[in-house]
């Protein structure tokens, strides 16, 4: 899933969790907060899209959807942790992204596996754009920037995976 090929969840030890950025200037904190809140809410949506798309049928496509969902869950946790480390909280409106993810996921599932793939391509393309924008928009600390870069690389891997499934003329599942 990641640029390392098989790492879905990075190891986090208790010593890795600490307060960050409390002494940053208000403008820098505002940029970081906006990015983290947005990325967290978007990952909540991504988790629900995949969760709603997975069927009970045992096939490689469902296995890949499950792995993608799990990977998106780690991204969501990455940003939730960073929000609290910086002294922020997730958006109170994240339930709207949760609901949107569920609706998009169920809707694409009803329309079939090709629509699931096209939805995944759309969602991952948007995620890559968001990551790129937020990597540039905020002055990240040396610990948080690599997490954003790794999570963005995961999204690129998802995008390539869904494109390769879509190119395959054989039945997906």
Q: For 88-142, how does the pLDDT look when each residue is reduced to its tens digit (9 = 90+)?
A: 999 999 999 999 999 999 999 999 999 999 999 999 999 999 999 999 988 999 9
- Sequence ranges of the domains in the chain: 22-167
Contact criterion met (CB below 8 Å) for 148 and 141: no
Residues 6+ apart with CB under 8 A from 102: 48, 49, 51, 52
d(CA 103, CA 97): 10
In this prediction the pTM is: 0.88
- What's the CATH number for 22-167? 1.20.1260.10
Retrieve residue 74's tokens: 């780690």
Cα 164 to Cα 16, 56, 110, distances in angstroms: 36, 22, 21
Cα 113 to Cα 45, 65, 93, 106, distances in angstroms: 19, 11, 30, 11
Retrieve residue 106's tokens: 């169920």
Over residues 6-31, the mean pLDDT reads 88
Mean pLDDT of the chain: 91
Share of the chain above pLDDT 90, in %: 81
Task: Kindly report which listed range (22-26, 74-78, 144-148, 167-171) carries the lowest average pLDDT score.
Answer: 167-171
Retrieve residue 125's tokens: 């393309």
Reported as a single tens digit per residue, the pLDDT across 5-14 is: 567 777 888 9
């Amino acid at each position: 899933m990641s640029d390392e090929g098989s790492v879905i969840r990075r190891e986090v030890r208790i010593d890795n969790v600490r307060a960050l950025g409390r002494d940053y200037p208000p403008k820098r904190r505002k940029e970081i907060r906006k990015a983290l809140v947005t990325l967290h809410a978007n990952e909540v949506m991504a988790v629900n899209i995949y969760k709603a798309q997975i069927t009970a049928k045992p096939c490689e496509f469902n296995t890949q959807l499950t792995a993608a969902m799990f990977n998106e869950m780690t991204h969501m946790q990455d940003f939730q942790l960073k929000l609290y480390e910086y002294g922020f909280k997730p958006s109170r409106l994240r339930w709207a992204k949760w609901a949107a993810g569920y609706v998009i996921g169920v809707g694409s599932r009803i329309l079939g596996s090709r629509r699931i793939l096209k939805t995944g391509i759309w969602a991952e393309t948007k995620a890559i754009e968001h990551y790129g924008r937020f990597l540039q928009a905020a002055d990240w600390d040396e610990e948080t920037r690599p997490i954003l870069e790794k999570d963005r690389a995961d999204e690129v891997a998802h995008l390539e995976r869904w494109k390769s499934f879509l190119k395959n003329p054989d039945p997906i599942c």
